[in-house]
Structures are given as C-alpha cells and as structure tokens.
Amino acid sequence: MSRKASLLRELISKSAVMMPGVPNASMARQVEQAGFDAVYLSGAGMINSTAGMPDIGLLDREEVVRLAGYVAHAVRIPAIVDADTGFGEGDEVATTIRDLENCGLAGCHIEDQEFPKRCGHLAGKTIVDLKTMTARIKAAVAARRDKDFLIIARTDARAVEGFDRAVDRAGEYLAAGADAIFPEALQSPKEFRDFAKEIDLPLMANMTEFGKSPLLTFRQLADFGYRMIIFPQSAFRISMKAADKFFKELKKAGTQSDWLDRMQTRQELYNLLDYDPAAEEWKGFRD
C-alpha cells in the first residue's frame, strides 16, 4: 500500500488541495520546500521541457513512467501525473496503472481524447465514444493493486459536445469506477460552479494560463467544491520567460554578473537536493 496515495485521499476528503505543476523532480522539491501538500506532474511540462516538443502525446509510457518516478521519489508529498489517454486500451491501460503505482505515484488522470491527443485548451480535439472511455476506466480500476491509488477521469467533452454532455459523461465515468473527475477547459465561473453542483465525488480544476478557462482563485474553486486545483505550467512558463530574458542579455553583455542576485546559489541547490559535498554519502530519495 502506498502511504502517499492514502495521504492524498485523506487530504482531499477534508479540504481542497493546491497542486503546483512541475516538469521535473528538482522543481517538485521546490514545491515541497514551499509547503505545498501535493504536486502535479504536467504532461505538457514533461514533453516541453525534456524534448522541446508540443503536448500532442509524443512521450510514450516508458518515458512518462521514468520521469514521473523521478518526481515521486524526490519528494515526500503525494504526486499525481498526467497519463494522457492511458497509452492504449485494455491491457495497455492496465500496464500504465501498474507501472505508475510501482514508481510511487499517488494517482493519475486518463482522458477521453482520441490518440494522438491535443492540449486540452486548443481547438481540433476529438474524443472517443462513451463505451471506449468507460472501458479505459474499468481497465484502470481493475488493474490497480493499491485501492488508494487515485484514478481520475478527465473529460474534454466541453469543447467538443458541450457543457451538458460533459456533465453526462462525468456521471458515466463515475459509474464506471473513477475516483474523481477532471472537467477540462470549462469556460466560465458559472460552468465551474454548475459542474460541481452536478458531480458529487472529488473534482479537479485546471488553472492553466492563456487557455479557455478563466483564472479563478483557489478559494473560489474550493468554495464551489473542487478538491484538487492544479497549476500545470505556471512555474515552467515563469522560468522559461526568465531564461529567455537572461539569454538575450548574456548575448549582449558577454557576462552573467548582473544576474547573480537572481540566481539560485550553488549552496541553495545543494540544500534543495539534500547534498553535502563533504559527506561520504548522498541522502538519496525521500520515500
């Protein structure tokens, strides 16, 4: 049984949980250091940062499991990962769940898009039929060995079939055994509120920037009834913007001296990584 999975269930049973998104394990350690109770591993963050490619399902299961495992083992807090469409159907979904359990994740979400998927806030998405998605959920639920491992069903139906159909699908996904629902790309505060009125089990809200959803506050969403609020790309976007500015100034000035007060120091990095160069052994992972 996973202590982290049971901890996450306990957390969301009591209140809403804020989950900053990260693309890697070092940033996950920063989330933990800042005092957050859980962390989210963004699919877009993984592919954007590791491969320099867009979020269109280009990472395979082995790559996602490896990257997610680094995050899960780097922190003591629970981590949830974006598992895209489950990397197949039937036995492939089952393998995905078991692999993510084995590498220490507390849960994942699987969506109802067709493969190859698209970013949830872009046009041109297509979704599978209800039978296919409910089969994905049933395969995921049957495959898990830890009853606390959280299986979240994401629906992209709002942009394809409309709000009412997204609610209907969510109800079917819960009936199929999903532990929580992630309605992607809702388009107004009213939609977030009304969706929460219709669905009784835990809900995930995505507060990604520059997309179709309004940027509501954690408190607003918690008051509506959402239990997991993710900020998947915020830190990545900030770090990329800062790096872009730095590279331009480095090219112009030929020195990084003016940026030293904006850098994480060597010692701060070592502290974050639990590394003491004078010690004989590194403290290692945090499971």
The tens digit of pLDDT for each residue in 96-152 reads 999 999 999 999 999 999 876 766 566 667 999 999 999 999 999 999 999 999 999
DSSP symbol at 261: G
φ, ψ of residue 228 in degrees (nearest 5): -130, 120
Give domain status of residue 280, yes or no: no
Instruction: Give residue 208's pLDDT.
Output: 96
62 is known as an active-site residue: no
pTM over 0.85: yes
CATH number of the domain residue 183 falls in: 3.20.20.60
* Nearest alpha-carbon partner for 118 in 127, 107, 130, 109: 127
- pLDDT score, position 62: 96
The per-residue pLDDT for range 2-22, each reduced to its tens digit, is 799 999 999 999 999 999 999
119 included as an active-site residue: yes
Is there a catalytic annotation at residue 84? yes
Write down the residue that tokens 């609610």 correspond to. 167
Q: What is the average pLDDT across 253-282? A: 92
The C-alpha torsion from 46 through 52 and 56 to 57, rounded to 10°, is -50
**Catalytic hit among 101, 112, 156, 184:** 184
The answer to whether residue 268 is catalytic is no
Average pLDDT value for the chain:
94
* 83: in domain: yes
Q: Please give the pLDDT value at position 121.
A: 64
Which one is catalytic: 9, 29, 109, 227? Answer: 109
Residue 271 lies in a domain: no
Residue 108 appears among annotated catalytic residues: no
In a domain, 148, yes or no: yes
What total of structural domains would you count in the chain?
1
Q: How far apart are CA 216 and CA 23, in angstroms?
A: 23
Q: What is the pLDDT of residues 18-45, one digit of tens each?
A: 999 999 999 999 999 999 999 999 999 9
Q: Active site residue: 32, 119, 191, 226, which one? A: 119
The confidence score (pLDDT) of residue 228 equals: 98
Distance separating alpha carbons of residues 128 and 182, to the nearest angstrom:
16
The answer to whether position 255 is within a domain reads no
Catalytic residue among 32, 82, 99, 179: 82
Identify the active-site residue in 32, 55, 112, 148: 55
What range defines the domain where residue 119 resides? Answer: 3-239
Establish whether 129 is a catalytic residue. no
